[in-house]
Structure 1
Amino acid sequence: MASLLRLNALSGAPLATDPFEYVIVRDFLPAEIRPALEKEFPAIDKPGVFPVQVLRYGPLFAALLEELRSAPFRDAVSQKFSVPLDGKPIMITVRGRCGPRDGQVHTDSENKIITVLLYLNSRWEADGGRLRLLRSHDIEDVAVELPPDWGTLLVFRRSDRSFHGHRLFEGERRVLMLNWLTSQEDLDHELGRHIRSSRLKSLIPTALLERLHWRRVAR
């Protein structure tokens, strides 16, 4: 099967440095796989991120995950950011929906080296939910605003100034996230935390979970 990733587009894309190091590639996936991939996207009816280990999906989605884990993709990212990734563990998580707490400004945890976001939504029309790369912790201090359109790839290097977030959006918002982490110990910790959270969410009705999110925001 031909590659699902347009690695040449990633290699040829410019590395931006303002407000931090990032690369954007639109149409990173071939258009012809979109209908099948949309059907195979994991069924997620709650907000939050879920590790792929707890999700069910079809063979094309599985093939996409394998290519994202592959050496050619790793090497393309490594060369673009001039950072060694060989031997670094990978964590892949998936988001299917946003709740009221999602999108808060953050920089990602220090155990993450590189963050990859691959968006899998139809053309985005909403004002909220557009990822903002920020110059500070202020959601309005915007350097770049990126609609999460289907096939859009964002890769950035985590730093103390890699602020990002989005304005409030509630509803379906599909994104596949990959992180290279600093150590296997960090991967085990992060993966265990996400798996425990996923199991807890599966026991809580969606409406109650969203009400709990709202209460936390109001505090």
Structure 2
Amino acid sequence: MPAPERSNRAYRNVARVVRPVLLACTLRDWRGAEHLPKDTGFIATANHMSNIDPLTFAHFLYDNGFAPKVLAKASLFSVPIVGRVLRASGQIPVDRDTAAAGRSLDAAIVAIEAGECVAVFPEGTLTREPDLWPMAGKTGVARLALSTRAPVIPCAQWGPQNLLGRYKKLFKPIPRKKVTIVAGPPVDLSDLYDRPQDTAVLREATERVMAAITTLLEEIRGETAPAERFVWRRPKPGGPA
């Protein structure tokens, strides 16, 4: 298949290595690609259950014609080889839970305004919800969406956790695992665009995105998510885990 128009050489080289591996170890059920905008930059959002699901999510987007710029934690860019690949392919570092977190979104805004697809995991980390339902999201996705007014496309994925479990290191490619990814229509945030980006507005926008992702995941799983969204707070240094 042809590579997305906006993919650079490094991106295509990575895809030549990673894509065949994913094709070999997954059975793909991909739906909703008609919701991915073709004529404007946009924000693709998804739930986060495993360290492998950024690759499965990127695979879904790549094979549908987009070379996503993934918001990834800044520490990965310091890892030998991995960091070099991330930088060369145009991925975007995010300094989570620091004063620089807001400034980290500047590169994402530039990418969206240039017509790129920016992929975001609103939870900011692997879900801590016991049954892998989406937990409460961070407000970075809301800041990005309200600053750019770009379409926010909710996506839900289920199955990557069977390739690599949450917190696990053992990759299980055999037998092939079914990976379902469904994209939904854009989340309507238009009534929030002209309001101040205060805490209430940011939380409302974030929850709308998380609710849309959760609804799609309920349809995939054929189950109902808990009525109250799980909230995880990072333990303080020196405190209990």
Q: TM-score, normalised by structure 2?
A: 0.29
- Which structure shows the bigger proportion of residues in helix conformation? 2
Tell me the TM-score normalised to structure 1 length: 0.31
- The structure whose residues are more often strand, as a share, is 1
